Structure 1
Amino acid sequence: MLTPLTDTDGAPFWEHAARGELRVQVCGACAEPRFPPRPCCPRCQSFAQEWRPVSGRGRVWSYVVAHPPLLPDYAAQAPYNVVVVELEEHPRIRLVGNLVTGPGAPLGSLDPHGIRIGARVRAVFADGLPQWVLA
């Protein structure tokens, strides 16, 4: 299982994900959403921040299917997909994850031929990691 490496700015994202919540960092001064998390707003330079919930709905913006040969720890799981999901309410925010058949399903559980750019997806969680399923 993959485990996230957290830093001070991104730790709240993973804390919410561990509770099954998808949240994004938003500037406390101008309400500009930002991802990846960072200490200062790129729009107004404020250090104020909030973590607001999002619906978890989005669309596949891009994807790749990894095939062997890979790093030894991942070879047994291949082929598997890695998707970039554009959030419905914040299209400039894109999250990376895996498209699976259901919460906790293995990485290769979805036939890669069923993945399409623009496909509607929603977030699910397994062991504190966001995953995506077709909506």
Structure 2
Amino acid sequence: MTTPTFVYDGDCAFCTSCAQFIERRIPTRARLVPWQFADLGALGLTTDQCEEAVQWVGDRRASGPDAFALLLRDAGRMWRVAGATLGWGPVRLVAWPIYRWVSEHRHMLPGGTPACSLPQAQRDRM
């Protein structure tokens, strides 16, 4: 079995803080990597997909809250229950709008910066 990869936006301070929390507190086998430093072609991902949402690449592929659900399931024990709950149909229906809201407002959340709200093309020009 290959090591799963969880891809996030490394230019976003909020996303990076979340990834650091995961690395410290959630015992996943996944490799957490900012998409800016990932070999997206080898992972079968595009820049657009990575700008849109976090990505999970493993035996299955997922994005956004579905990626978080797989990451939590991978972590085992109590995390597996949280991941199964997040992946459950009714919860998924609520999770996606919440994920989109957080994604669109991450620059206003703790650890976020104004650069978090800009598309990558605009960040590259900064």
TM category (shorter chain) comes to under 0.3
Q: Between the two structures, name the one with larger relative contact order (CA 8 Å, sep ≥ 6).
A: 2
TM-score (norm 2): 0.28
Structure number with the higher helix fraction is 2
> Which has the larger share of strand?
1
TM-score (norm 1): 0.26
